[in-house]
Structure 1
Amino acid sequence: MTSVRVQAWGIIAGVLANDDPANAAIRRRLCEHLSDYPLEPERALFLHLQETRERPDLPDGAHGTGQEAASGTEPGAAVEHPGSLQRNMRISELLHNRMMLTAFQPIVDLRLGTVVGVEALSRFVTDDGASPDVWFAEATSLGRGADLEFSAVGSALRTAEQLPGHTFLSINISPSSCLDSRLAGLLAAGEIPLDRIVLELTESVRDDAYPDVVSALAPLRAQGLRIAVDDLNPDLGAMSRMVQLGPDFIKLGRNIISGIDSDVRQQQLAAGMVDFAARMGCSLVAEGVENSAELAALAACGITTGQGYFLGRPTVQPQDWASWSKQDAGKTP
């Protein structure tokens, strides 16, 4: 079973397994923190990451980027695209050390106040404090976006083994990664059955890519996999593409939800989306519900499923996940 503590040990093991002599001081300091907190590896790892931001224990000259070693050139020699090399090394280190945790945010049935599913959100255990969006954007700019996405998918699938069995698992993925042959194998290798997994498309699918995406996902959907469209922009083109894709879930973002309690036009739009979803045979999920007024307005529009800070914040704590039972979880405030 995967937990925050087990994930912390996995990250620590990756750091300690790096036998590069240049990193000896880092390994030594990490071991010292583990000696101080032998029963709290996550605390030891956090202190280690704080320290390595400045890396005070490294000898003079050890603060370099490692570009010379990576490029095979002598120190001081010209290196082509040093910024890209350094950024690639950052992504490689992140993937190699599996410095990633999975947080789950509950998705709630607004009629019953119960948790029916979760959205998996990546949290990176890195010393620079960069947000997940920054890491994914950087990986994509280097042509390694799919590598990082699949690492996140794998983390979500492993961690989701601790979720209550009645919840579905929604995993963010880009349309381009849906075309990658690694996806099917990764989903099949996990312990979570396909009929509990929802792939949440994080970007608009280009018109010319729709047939390929639909075709690539068809065998998985035949085995029970479901599809969600994230932050739908309800213009005519997007709506017509939804008919072609036939998603199982449509998620309405803050552009529709924010202030819906005081904006009649937004209420009309939400009510229209309820009718559209019903005709499509799919479920509608309101994202970003932040207060009771928005929740009441959504209920009045006929929206029955939602997520957001008012309903439950993302959490990496297994005890929180365990509380999301059918009987007791997700009681709406």
Structure 2
Amino acid sequence: MSMDETSFPALTDGESTVHRGPQSNPPSDVNDPTIRGQAWDIIESVLDDATPQSEWAREQLRTRMESHPGNPERALLEHLMATRSFTDGQSDDSEPNLPSPDLPLPDEDYGNTVLFTRRSRRRIEAILGDRMLLTAFQPIHELSSRNVVGVEALTRFVSDDGASADHWFNEAAAVGLGSDLEFAALQAALIAAEQLPAHVYVALNLSPATCLDPRLRAFVEHSQLAVDRIVIELTERLAEDEYEPVVAALAPLRLRGLRVAVDGAGAGFGSMSQVTHLSPDIIKLDRSLIAGIDHAAGQRTLGAAMVEFARQVGADLVAEGIETQAELTSVMDLGMGFGQGYLLGRPSVQPLDWTAWRTSADHEASTSGSNGSAT
């Protein structure tokens, strides 16, 4: 759901295009045009906001950019970390009591959401109001039978700037609307999932904050989808003190059949810490472990260890990002039971593609039934 690495400009696949003003063009030797392009897009939105309320934010951002010429990502990051939500508790028309741009901000915890521009908030509110988002489903296969047993829901935004889903979710979080946008994407995914084959589960990407939101239980319980077909896939690493509240919040739904997946396992200690604390039903191996596993002895050793670990804890193991036949052969040789990736199936917003998954499964079932009756 949010939170995928591809862009969806104007309902078509392709490379994202970021519109920038004449004074904010990035240097020609950009190493990562997608990330840097998104940084420039947000910077431009701040600098273009000519309202008096945003003057302080503009001055602060210009100072950061002068400190880090040619590095908009660093300038934007420092700006977000150093900007407080001065408008909290005020109406949209009230004048915030902003400090002088020359005065340093006090050293305090800025873990709360950051409201650094009214324009960003208006952009997200427009998305929420008009429901300008779609759901793409990427199939998850049982590797031995090649049947589609599940899908991951990925959000596609209907916009003319080509911004990726990650960009929209990050901007929503920055203006305090992260959970609202996740719930809008969740609702769209649950409605779209009604057209999926009945045997397919749906993995929904949610942040820990949204898992703690009391609205989640109502969304799940009022969905037309059976609870045991819903998988909550955590998209962020949890701090040590966040595990217990998240486990407690999800416990009532898990008792009714909802499953939990941990994404990015095998990518570091943090991912394994989530596995041990959350006791997930599904462990998804990070693409960094799968890419080139056919010729990397260290990755194969770690992959084999993860297969045994999943067996010991009773979790299904999904290899993410399978893109070559050699990778597919290797993960199957290691005993990994499930997989997803471009080799197996790309994300699709087309219900006709989803119907094909039903047809494939029905064909496999009828074939198995015929073989059984023949014996």
Q: Under a length normalisation based on structure 2, what TM-score does the superposition of the two structures give?
A: 0.66
Q: Aligned-pair distance for 1:131?
A: 0.5
* Aligned pairs for 1:91-130 within 5 A: 91-130=124-163
Paired letter, 1:282 = A
Q: Residue 304 of structure 2: which of 271, 289, 295 is its match?
A: 271
Structure 2: how far apart are the matches of 1:238 and 1:247?
12
Matched, 1:313 2:346: yes
Structure 1: how far apart are the matches of 2:327 and 2:256?
36
SS of 2:202's equivalent in the other structure is strand
SS of 1:230's equivalent in the other structure is strand
- Determine the structure 1 residue equivalent to 2:362: 327
* Aligned pairs for 1:90-239 within 5 A: 90-233=123-266, 235=268, 238-239=271-272
Q: Aligned-pair distance for 1:220?
A: 0.4
SS of 1:309's equivalent in the other structure is coil
Check whether the contact 2:138–2:348 (CA below 8 A) recurs between aligned residues: yes
Paired letter, 2:310 = A
Per-residue Cα deviation, 1:120-176 (whole angstroms, up to 9, x for no partner): 000000111111010001011112111111111100000000000000000000112
Matched, 1:282 2:320: no
Structure 2: how far apart are the matches of 1:300 and 1:241?
26
Identical positions, percent: 48
Q: Residue 117 of structure 2: which of 84, 91, 102 is its match?
A: 84
Structure 2: how far apart are the matches of 1:297 and 1:289?
10
Per-residue Cα deviation, 1:272-323 (whole angstroms, up to 9, x for no partner): 0000000000000000000100000001111010000000000000000011
Paired letter, 2:155 = S
Check whether the contact 1:163–1:321 (CA below 8 A) recurs between aligned residues: yes
SS of 1:327's equivalent in the other structure is helix
SS of 1:103's equivalent in the other structure is strand
- Determine the structure 1 residue equivalent to 2:295: 262
**Which of structure 1's runs of 4+ aligned residues deviate more than 4 A?**
64-71, 80-83, 234-238
Q: Aligned-pair distance for 1:254?
A: 1.1
Return 5+ residue gaps in structure 2 as ranges: 1-9, 13-18, 21-47, 54-90, 96-100, 102-113, 365-375
| Distance change >3 Å, CA 160–CA 82, structure 1 → 2 | closer
* Aligned pairs for 1:55-74 within 5 A: 71-72=92-93
- Determine the structure 2 residue equivalent to 1:17: none
| Distance change >3 Å, CA 66–CA 285, structure 1 → 2 | same
Return 5+ residue gaps in structure 1 as ranges: 1-42, 47-52, 55-63, 75-79
Q: Aligned-pair distance for 1:253?
A: 1.2
Backbone CA RMSD of aligned residues: 2.6
Tell which deviates more after alignment, 80-89 or 216-225: 80-89
Q: Aligned-pair distance for 1:239?
A: 3.1
Check whether the contact 2:208–2:234 (CA below 8 A) recurs between aligned residues: yes
Tell me the number of residue pairs that the alignment of Structure 1 and Structure 2 aligns: 266
Check whether the contact 1:252–1:287 (CA below 8 A) recurs between aligned residues: yes
